[in-house]
Amino acid sequence: MTQVNTTQDSTRQNVLGEIISLIAANPASSENINAILKLVQAASAATSASFILFDEPKLVISSGDSDSWINHEQILQSFTAKLSDKLNINPPLIDGLASKHQNWLAAPLRNGKLDLGLLWLSFDTLPPLADTLDALVDSLSILASNLHAHESHEHSHQLTISLLTSITDPLLVLDDDRNLLLMNPAAETVFKAKADQVRGKSLREIVQSEELIALGSDETKKLAEWISPDEKTFVPRIEAVRDAQGSLEGWVLALRDVTQFKKLNRNQSEFMRIVSHDLRSPLTAMQGFASMLELGLVGEMNEKQNHFVSKILAGIAQMTALVENIQDAGRYDPESGFYELTRSHCDLGEMLRKIVDNQLVPAEKALTISVSIADNVPIINADTNMLERAIINLVDNAIKYTPSGGKVEVGAKCENNEVIVTVKDSGLGIDAQDQQHLFERHVRIARQEHKKIKGSGLGLFIVRSVAQRHGGDAWVESTQGKGSTFYLGIPLDGPNLVTAKE
């Protein structure tokens, strides 16, 4: 008897060894389940054996004379949820389950608390059970977990591929050494390469662009635009890919195609340039004829007629200023502007004094305007016309938005190797939220106090554009109820230095 038991144990051990070898050879394959199930049936002397997976990949595999209800997934899931771990001998069946065999064993295939599936063994006569059978159940649980994980991975991979394919902008997925893992069809078109042929190659071998290579090598670098060999315009961006612990796993290089936007922007700028240019002639003619009426060159006019003429002239002046701002906004725009800087020696102190002296303050306002120029402000090499237009806009805004009795202070100083023009007013101040968008095109602050003030929302956009075209910037500091200070900064380096021209 001892010899028989020893032989059975040896057989079970051999079966277990075969199963472990199959799982080790291919831990995520559904193809060898049938062979494994037959081995389990042989090792347990079962009349039938069934292996059921509830989640993807859904499987129902049987060996021997199995019961017909093994395809009733929902019933089996409810039944499995009631089972304890390991082997359950003749567990009570629920409604919908009935075995044609005398005995049965049921073992849940679990991964933690997740029920992945069920192992069902049927017996006409229940044999003595060995611990090996528990090991077989553990092995099948491992196989079920591997199949589930593999299927989830494949699903995620296919989803990633589908997403990459559906995105019309070029995308390159790189490993942490900047070698290619994936690229979508849009990137294949731009870089004239097939993903399967260049996978594993370095970024340098694929993009053949020093600008993109520099961007891909240092995520702190910025690249505003990149123009492809077929003259399409892209905005590149590189992002790190990190795992849950924050460790670097790779990079995603995305190229946003802005070709159409650039084209639309150019068309819009060209349209506005033509329209504003064509408006100047009729406006000049209207101003000339209205001025002749005002001067009485075509006959005497009564008081009411003179009032109407003054209103006409005021409207013409407003339209002329609007046309000039539209032209300046289009010409000076750092992204789409066609204007080329004409640099010359520029004395900011003299310019500021001239602007303030020539600035007209409405008669109904009693404003104090002062100028303060620091001794260390140098002569700079800049476009005088552009700077003058920008500073006039700042001073004009300060006068318009400062209540009667207030003051406007205009100044220039040098700080941190930068010359800064300041225009400070004692107006109503600007909310912090409005300050963020103040220098954008066509932005005006909606306030009841400013309702009667006319404007296009282009003045401050022009100011920032002029500053940026000189390598600088414009900004504002303001507190509600305490006025505002506007800044226009120009760095004292490169072409802005007088020596750069000589």
**Among 37, 61, 116, 126, which Cα is nearest to 88's?**
126
Q: Write the pLDDT tens digit of every residue in 308-336.
A: 988 888 888 878 877 777 777 767 676 66
Q: Which two tokens stand for residue 48?
A: 């039938």
**Among 369, 381, 395, 361, which Cα is nearest to 463's?**
395
Q: Write the pLDDT tens digit of every residue in 175-213.
A: 888 898 888 888 888 888 888 888 889 888 888 888 888
CATH topology (fold) of 168-257: Beta-Lactamase (3.30.450)
Q: Spell out the residues 6+ positions from residue 353 whose beta carbon is closer than 8 angstroms to its own.
A: 371, 373
**pLDDT, position 4:** 42
For the domain spanning 2-157, the CATH number is: 3.30.450.40
CATH label, 344-501, candidates 2.70.180.20, 3.90.550.10, 3.50.30.30, 3.30.565.10: 3.30.565.10
**pLDDT, position 420:** 94
Q: What are phi and psi of 192, to 5 degrees?
A: 50, 50
Q: What percent of the chain has pLDDT over 90?
A: 12
**pLDDT, position 310:** 86
What is the pTM for the complete model shown?
A: 0.50
**pLDDT, position 7:** 52
Tell me the pairing of strands 380-382 and 344-346: antiparallel
**pLDDT, position 1:** 40
d(CA 392, CA 111): 73
**Among 406, 492, 422, which Cα is nearest to 463's?**
422
**Among 465, 39, 494, 16, which Cα is nearest to 269's?**
465
**pLDDT, position 413:** 93
CB atoms inside a 10 Å sphere around CB 219: 12
d(CA 113, CA 34): 26
Q: What share of the chain is helix, strand, coil (3-state, %, to 5)?
A: 45, 20, 35
In the numeric block, the tokens 């993903």 are attached to: 195
Question: Distance between terminal CA atoms of the chain?
Answer: 110
d(CA 276, CA 324): 8
**What are the residue boundaries of the structural domains of the chain, listed by start?**
2-157, 168-257, 261-332, 344-501
User: From residue 397, how far is each of 128, 151, 261, 486 by CA, in Å?
Assistant: 97, 65, 31, 10
Type and span of the H or E element at 369: strand 368-373
d(CA 290, CA 308): 10
Q: Write the pLDDT tens digit of every residue in 98-118.
A: 788 888 888 888 877 888 888
- CATH topology identical between 2-157 and 168-257: yes
Q: Which two tokens stand for residue 327?
A: 């032209």
Amino acid at 208: Q
CATH topology (fold) of 261-332: Helix Hairpins (1.10.287)
Q: Which two tokens stand for residue 129?
A: 């059970």
Residue numbers of the chain with a pLDDT score lower than 70: 1-32, 69-71, 129-136, 219-220, 330, 332, 334-339, 363-364, 445-456, 500-502
Q: What are phi and psi of 133, to 5 degrees?
A: -65, -35
